[in-house]
Amino acid sequence: KTGDIHHVEQRRVKCPPEVPSLFESNYVRTARYTKFNFLPKNLLLQFHRFVNCFFLVVSILASVSSISPVGALTFWLPIGLLLSGTMVKDAYEDYQRHKADVEENSRTTEVFNPTLGDFMQVTWREVAVGSIVRVNTTHPDTTPLIPADLTLLASSAKAGTCFLETANLDGETNLKMRESPSETHQRLTTFQEGASHGELNKANVRKLALKVVCNPPDAFLYDFHARMEHDAIDIQLGGGHLLQRSTKLRNTKWIIGVAVYTGCETKIQMNMTEPPNKITNVERRLNFWMLYLFWGLFGMALIGAIGSVVTVIAPETGSGAWYLVPEQPTATFNPDRPVVVGLLGFFSFLILLSLFIPISLYVSMEVAKSVQGLQINWDIDMYHPETDTPALTRTTNLNEELGQIQYIFSDKTGTLTQNVMEFRKCFISGVSYGFGTTEIGLAAALRGANVGTAHPSQVEAERSANPEKAQYYRDPAINFDDTRLLGRYNDKHEARDKIEMFMRILSVSHTVVPEGDPADPKALIYQAESPDEGALTLFAKAIGWCFCGKTSTHTTVKVHGADEVYEVLNVNKFNSTRKRMSVVARTPEGKLVLYCKGADNVMLERIAAGQPEGELMAKQLQLYATEGLRTLVLASKDLTEEEWLAWDAIHKAASTSLEDRDGALERAAELIEKDMIIAGATAIEDKLQDGVPDAIATLAQGGIKIWVLTGDKQETAENIGFACRLLRDDMTINYINGADDNEIKTQLRECLERNADCIGKENEHLALLVDGKSLITIMADTVLTADLLKFATMCKAVIACRVSPSQKMQIVAMVRHGVKPEPMTLSIGDGANDVPMILEAHVGVGISGNEGMQAVRSADFAIAQFRYLKKLMLFHGRNNYRRVATLVQYSLYKNILLVSCLALYNFVNGWSGTLVMDTWVFSAYNVLFTSFFIVIYAFLDQDVSVETAMANPQLYIPGQRSANFNSFTMSVWVLNAVVQAALAFGLPTLTFAGFDDSDKNIYGVIVMMGVVITANLRLVFISAHISWVSHFIAALCVFFFFAFILVYSYGASFGYWNFSGSGTKALGSAIFWLVGLLTFVAMSGIDVFFIYLHRHMHPNPVYVIQERDRGHGKSYDTENGTSTGMEGIPLVVSGTSS
């Protein structure tokens, strides 16, 4: 991390700023282009695609009239349309970025002018590193947004603090507190007697001279390690002193700060990176087939070149076409120069047959996927009205990947659960307070799990439960109704001191920010960085310990109406590694006390030995976990003045360290967070989201393996697994949770030995539960990792508990790169700690939840609730995979169909390198005759209804097996194209062979008519969802063909003589209609025959369900998933189904 500024080049910021500035300006630009570089840069980017480069070369070759059998415009027009269309799209998108940039850079703020001795309004782009900036929430002409990354110098609050809303930065709406150094705050601020806000001392601002030495710009949003040199003293600065660009000042009249990072070097800009370019499975297969097509094209061109050489060298014996010999040798027909003839012939056939590579494919895919993305965004079934959140497609390139997922890796909190925390119970001095249980607890009890037996006193207390008497400040949102807790405190029960310590920890050791009038506790609203802290602080307020506010050094708590002020001397912050937070405070009685709360597994290791209630609490924590409750342990430690002074010196040294400051602070905290006295434990409920059990069960029926990766303890994770139907009673759960390395290795070995007969295949009745500590041992050894993967892939469900964000990513990477062939993976989460695993998976899905938007911003798709994943995958994903697979194969098919006709024509015509039809008719094939229907198909076709797709998740399995796009299906499409091409060429050729006055243009039109009508009809035949739109588009494409040849017949009026009158002559010829009808009927008859044969003799599950939905099926066994109609064909998805 860049927090170590001792070993990296330090940034030295002077205030007032240096002129000219040595740093980046504050101008930001997200636009990719300027008006000067747009054309060359955009073209360069487009020609990174090999297909575009290929067609550019072919177009250049086609411009050489001596070797090109077609007009150059035939190739320049399609590639020109392709490039210009992409340019228009890119230009529009970049114009929108330019507009946003102008708006951003034109915002106004105030910067101190030393010459004037006052602040002046400037635009954001004029702010420089070292500038003193004032942000005001009451000024009508300036915005309360922070214009650059600022180090806070002073604020209008007496304590020198301010509050930021960071939604623009991380998506979190809760307020974050920042504090200014007391040295600068006191110097720059003056307070009048009785005034609630301070005034800025501009005279002292004018005299201000300081230097900030900080780490270079980095992308870590909250990391800031610096020191300020001011009045010959060094002031240490951290993340709590940094105001990030684009955050919003709240609940503070004004602040001033010095700009340390500007423009593209600010935290928010450093995080605006392009998402990783993910290549889909379909695209990888397409690239593989493209290589075959290129080799096939070059091979056919080479054969054509050899044929042309043979024809030239021996016209009488080679082809019998003696009439082709010109009076004077030409470059392309010179028996004395066969090498030149062959080379020119190769290029001629390369140009002629280049349509083998479908240039329109990528355009069609981009258009279709864009519309598919909009369909996902507009799906009302995936809209969450409570939060006004629709589904969001952030990467349309991955639409079809959603239909091939084999593994889902899911976070728990906020993803499977609501992340809306409700305080349920607590344990203090050997007694559990709070009644009832949770849905998870009820499910556990039904399975026979021990959820605790109520003590007779608790049963009696529950009878007299009364939330009005149980809470001092009644909060309807808190369902705590156990009157014993407050009653024992008021009655001076022997547990009173423990209760008081418990409540003090909840009300003092936190990072909550209050909003509202402290004089009215019921009106106070708490802004918390995590839902857990908010729930705990609200509970403490309800019991009578109302947190009213804090300064940089003091915290005020209103205890049953009386104010208590605690001097906060040190704070040891929470992070995902420490899993705890503590403060050293001087109590109102003058005592020094350490208040600490954290996860039970780390807290129990730091509790002083010999406490009798420790064993009782451990048992109660197990019972809470069985109910699915999230638990924290609270503890305290009395300190002597000498102990604190000695430790405070270590802590201060760590906080001012220029090398590994975070590590030094953690090590300092370890020295004091030990031998603590138990205060109690809390139990919070995080309810499951609606529809989660059904979604997981349905996805599992679709052949998807679901792994839950959570930081919760084992019992909680296991019971959540049962509650959401990931685990079932008929499953055998295997545990890997050993206390040491040897036990972990033994457990893993026994898991493999017990299930040796299942190695290499999945067992519906196997599940695995592994903890984070065991994963540390396993992941450090490649052999153990391979064994874990071997066993985990045998299991239907896997739960990893007590895992860190990095371990989540390791698990995803282990499956993605360890299982062969590589499976398609999807990670879903809602918080910043889920970002690593979201980025590691093939597809990332973010939940728009209560932990900010970082997961959404890193994901490919975003939804508001986990249950929406069911429709996203089983309906949208499955359909999009089918559609894109068909789009790719159809695009290749229709081009191979046409090119095969050209190859056959040249084979029987002396390898002349000529077209069977007119150049412009040939060019319009991909542009007008066959391009629209497939794009419409690619976002409208739907083989079964939404309800049927949801009710039959087994239909998802073919996508996992790439059943719709593989070597076999592609070969069938290619073979079909070749056979139909033989008919399209052969039938007109044989017919016209008997006519002496045959017209080549009419002959070519008949061939083209058969190809156009057959190509469009094939798409009609395979469409499962025939609507008026598809009928209309198919008819329109065929209409375009006839209209084109009719209009083109009058080409002489426009200077085109080659086809003049041919169209009208063809349309007025009986032989044209007779042969044309015979040709396309024969060609389409092949499709009709094989589709009929497949549907009635060997139907796949989709066909069975379609017939059932139409009322043809007799019955359907939903329990066993089989159909007993349709000649008793079972609904079982086979590997070859499509």
Distance in angstroms (rounded) separating the CA atoms of residues 1087 and 423: 65
Distance in angstroms (rounded) separating the CA atoms of residues 480 and 462: 11
Would you place residue 863 in the very low, low, confident or very high pLDDT band (cuts 50, 70, 90)?
Answer: very high
Name the H helices within 908-956.
919-924, 932-940, 946-951
Per-residue confidence (pLDDT) for residue 2, from 0 to 100: 38
Would you place residue 1046 in the very low, low, confident or very high pLDDT band (cuts 50, 70, 90)?
Answer: confident
Which tokens belong to 851? 């932990």
Per-residue confidence (pLDDT) for residue 1120, from 0 to 100: 44
Determine the residue type at 233. I
Residue 498 has pLDDT above 90, yes or no: yes
Q: Beta strands 825-829 and 407-410: pairing type? A: parallel
Indicate the SS3 state at residue 247.
coil
- From 629, 622, 435, select the one nearest 535 (Cα to Cα): 629
For the segment 42-77, what is each residue's pLDDT rounded down to a tens digit?
Answer: 898 888 777 788 888 888 888 887 777 777 777 788
Give the chain's largest Cα–Cα span. 124
From the CB of residue 592, how many other CB atoms can be counted at a distance below 10 Å?
A: 19
- From 479, 433, 457, select the one nearest 687 (Cα to Cα): 479
Distance separating the N- and C-terminal Cα atoms of the chain: 49
| Mean pLDDT score of the chain | 85
Per-residue confidence (pLDDT) for residue 271, from 0 to 100: 77
Distance in angstroms (rounded) separating the CA atoms of residues 625 and 631: 7
Residue 4 has pLDDT above 50, yes or no: no
Q: Which of 149, 379, 411, 830 does the annotation list as catalytic? A: 411
Would you place residue 277 in the very low, low, confident or very high pLDDT band (cuts 50, 70, 90)?
Answer: low
976's CB contacts (< 8 A; 6+ apart) are: 893, 1086, 1087
Would you place residue 552 in the very low, low, confident or very high pLDDT band (cuts 50, 70, 90)?
Answer: confident
Residue 938 has pLDDT above 70, yes or no: yes
Q: Rounded to an integer, what is the distance from CA 1075 to the centroid of its chain? A: 55
Residue 470 has pLDDT above 50, yes or no: yes
232's CB contacts (< 8 A; 6+ apart) are: none
Q: How many angstroms separate the Cα of 1016 from the Cα of each of 638, 904, 921?
A: 83, 22, 16
Q: Which residues pair with 594 in a beta bridge?
A: 584, 637
- Residue keyed to tokens 């000024």: 139
Residue 111 has pLDDT above 90, yes or no: yes
For the segment 914-930, what is each residue's pLDDT rounded down to a tens digit?
Answer: 777 777 788 888 888 99
User: Of 46-60, 127-141, 1012-1026, where does mean pLDDT reach its minimum?
Assistant: 46-60
- From 1018, 992, 797, 782, select the one nearest 897 (Cα to Cα): 1018
From the CB of residue 365, how many other CB atoms can be counted at a distance below 10 Å?
A: 24
- Residue keyed to tokens 């912050």: 573
Mean pLDDT, to the nearest integer, of 998-1015?
A: 84
Which tokens belong to 640? 């002597």
With contact defined as beta carbons under 8 Å apart, do 423 and 477 qualify?
Answer: no
Would you place residue 1015 in the very low, low, confident or very high pLDDT band (cuts 50, 70, 90)?
Answer: very high
Our answer to whether residue 694 is catalytic in this structure is no
Strand spans (E) along 60-214: 108-113, 118-123, 132-136, 149-155, 161-165, 175-179, 189-190, 199-200, 210-214
Indicate the SS3 state at residue 999.
coil
Residue 658 has pLDDT above 80, yes or no: no
Mean pLDDT, to the nearest integer, of 361-378?
A: 91
Q: What percentage of the chain's residues is helix, strand, coil (to nearest 5)?
A: 50, 20, 35
Burial of 565 from C-beta contacts in 10 A (0-12 / 13-18 / 19+): middle
Q: Which residues pair with 330 in a beta bridge?
A: 333
Distance in angstroms (rounded) separating the CA atoms of residues 1134 and 1138: 9
Helix (H) and strand (E) counts in the chain: 41, 37
Higher pLDDT, 9 or 512: 512
- Render the burial of 713-740: b for 16+ CB within 10 Å, e for the rest: bbbbbbbbbbbbbbbeeebeebebbbee
Distance in angstroms (rounded) separating the CA atoms of residues 1019 and 129: 62
- Residue keyed to tokens 């209409």: 1039
Full 3-state SS string of 357-419: CCCHHHHHHHHHHHHHHHHHHCCHHHCECCCCECCEECCHHHHHHHHCCCEEEECCCCCCEEE
Per-residue confidence (pLDDT) for residue 440, from 0 to 100: 76
Which tokens belong to 961? 């097996």
Residue 1125 has pLDDT above 80, yes or no: no
With contact defined as beta carbons under 8 Å apart, do 373 and 364 qualify?
Answer: no
User: Of 265-279, 1020-1034, 1081-1095, 1098-1112, where does mean pLDDT reach its minimum?
Assistant: 265-279
Residue 945 has pLDDT above 80, yes or no: yes
Residue 7 has pLDDT above 60, yes or no: no
Indicate the SS3 state at residue 897.
helix
Per-residue confidence (pLDDT) for residue 670, from 0 to 100: 93
Distance in angstroms (rounded) separating the CA atoms of residues 178 and 149: 13
Kind plus residue range of the DSSP H or E element containing 708? strand 705-709
Share of the chain above pLDDT 70, in %: 90
Determine the residue type at 994. G
Burial of 966 from C-beta contacts in 10 A (0-12 / 13-18 / 19+): middle
With contact defined as beta carbons under 8 Å apart, do 502 and 634 qualify?
Answer: yes
Angle at 665 (CA atoms; ends 659, 670), nearest 5 degrees: 135
Kind plus residue range of the DSSP H or E element containing 626? helix 612-626
Per-residue confidence (pLDDT) for residue 1122, from 0 to 100: 43
Mean pLDDT, to the nearest integer, of 225-234?
A: 86
For the segment 737-766, what is each residue's pLDDT rounded down to a tens digit?
Answer: 988 899 999 999 999 999 888 888 888 899
With contact defined as beta carbons under 8 Å apart, do 661 and 654 qualify?
Answer: yes
Residue 1130 has pLDDT above 60, yes or no: no
Residue 1116 has pLDDT above 80, yes or no: no
With contact defined as beta carbons under 8 Å apart, do 748 and 778 qualify?
Answer: yes
For the segment 790-823, what is each residue's pLDDT rounded down to a tens digit?
Answer: 999 999 999 999 888 889 999 999 999 999 989 9
Phi, psi (degrees; rounded to nearest 5) at 739: -80, -25
Per-residue confidence (pLDDT) for residue 1134, from 0 to 100: 34
- Residue keyed to tokens 């864009």: 370
Would you place residue 6 in the very low, low, confident or very high pLDDT band (cuts 50, 70, 90)?
Answer: very low
From the CB of residue 169, how many other CB atoms can be counted at a distance below 10 Å?
A: 23
Indicate the SS3 state at residue 576.
coil
| Residue 714, Ramachandran bin (φ over 0: left; ψ between -120 and 50: alpha; else beta) | alpha
- Residue keyed to tokens 């608790």: 458
From the CB of residue 616, how many other CB atoms can be counted at a distance below 10 Å?
A: 16
Higher pLDDT, 1070 or 872: 872
Burial of 1056 from C-beta contacts in 10 A (0-12 / 13-18 / 19+): middle
Distance in angstroms (rounded) separating the CA atoms of residues 153 and 137: 17
Distance in angstroms (rounded) separating the CA atoms of residues 326 and 333: 8
Distance in angstroms (rounded) separating the CA atoms of residues 858 and 835: 6
User: Of 573-582, 835-844, 978-987, 1004-1013, where does mean pLDDT reach its minimum?
Assistant: 573-582
Among the ranges 168-182, 654-668, 836-850, which has the highest mean pLDDT value? 836-850
Would you place residue 3 in the very low, low, confident or very high pLDDT band (cuts 50, 70, 90)?
Answer: very low
Q: What's the pTM value of the predicted model, to 2 decimals? A: 0.80
Task: Indicate the DSSP class of residue 607.
Answer: B
- From 686, 765, 723, 727, select the one nearest 444 (Cα to Cα): 723
Residue 1061 has pLDDT above 80, yes or no: no
Share of the chain above pLDDT 90, in %: 40
Q: How many angstroms separate the Cα of 664 from the Cα of each of 246, 578, 655, 1094?
A: 31, 13, 8, 70
- Residue keyed to tokens 């986990």: 866
170's CB contacts (< 8 A; 6+ apart) are: 221, 832, 852, 853, 854
From the CB of residue 288, how many other CB atoms can be counted at a distance below 10 Å?
A: 11
- Counted residue by residue, the chain has a size of 1138
Which tokens belong to 1090? 């094989």
